[in-house]
């Protein structure tokens, strides 16, 4: 199966949002409070994803056989907002391919990684720059920066 990485189409935000929500629920929600889970659902909503892209961000999708299996969204300041791959497609190079596509437009600099994804981001060249934190909106994260 061939993997395709490309910018998101306007009609795909709903599907991309579902990929993010499904992956988050499966892998990261257990590390978050109820408030954090609710906050993430809003952050990953199609409306907010579109709004961030309209404000200068960019989203790429990973597609296999016409199905979105992953996505990366990057703000204009080179901060990764969302990076999610469906669980059954993880550890197959999809995340690395998404990061490479986003990097081709602008070098990615920072991410607020979910505690369970710190090691994955380290493999992509990001390093923790502080201890685990809790945002005002209830999201637990580790601030990371790329060297």
Q: Does residue 137 belong to any structural domain of this protein? A: no
How far apart, in Å, are the Cα atoms of 146 and each of 19, 108, 111, 122, 135?
A: 25, 7, 9, 9, 21
In which domain, by residue range, is 87 found? 3-108
Q: Does residue 62 belong to any structural domain of this protein? A: yes
pTM: 0.90
The half-sphere exposure of 48 on its side-chain side, counting CA atoms within 13 A, is 13
**Token duo for residue 121:** 């981001």
Give the SS3 label for residue 77: coil
Q: Does residue 16 belong to any structural domain of this protein? A: yes
How high does pLDDT run on average in the chain?
91
Query: Which CATH number belongs to the domain containing residue 78 in this structure?
Result: 3.40.630.30
**pLDDT tens-digit series, residues 18-76:** 999 988 877 766 767 778 778 888 899 999 999 999 999 999 999 999 999 999 999 99
Q: Does residue 50 belong to any structural domain of this protein? A: yes
What is the count of structural domains for the chain? 1
Q: Does residue 127 belong to any structural domain of this protein? A: no
CB under 8 A, 24+ apart: contacts of 7-13: 7/58, 7/59, 7/60, 7/61, 8/53, 8/59, 8/60, 8/61, 8/71, 10/50, 12/61, 12/68, 13/46, 13/49, 13/50, 13/59
């Amino acid at each position: 199966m061939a993997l395709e990485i490309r910018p998101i189409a306007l009609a795909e935000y709903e599907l991309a949002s579902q990929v993010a929500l499904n992956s988050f629920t499966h892998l990261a929600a257990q590390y978050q409070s109820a408030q954090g889970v609710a906050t993430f659902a809003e952050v990953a909503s199609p409306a907010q994803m579109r709004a961030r892209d309209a404000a200068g961000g960019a989203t790429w999708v990973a597609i296999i056989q016409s199905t979105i299996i992953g996505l990366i969204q990057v703000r204009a300041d080179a901060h990764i907002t969302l990076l999610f791959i469906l669980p059954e497609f993880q550890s197959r190079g999809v995340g690395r391919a998404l990061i490479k596509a986003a990097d081709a437009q602008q070098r990615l600099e920072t991410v607020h990684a979910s505690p369970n994804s710190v090691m994955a981001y380290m493999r992509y060249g990001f390093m923790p720059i502080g201890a685990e934190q809790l945002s005002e909106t209830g999201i637990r994260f580790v601030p990371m920066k790329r060297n």
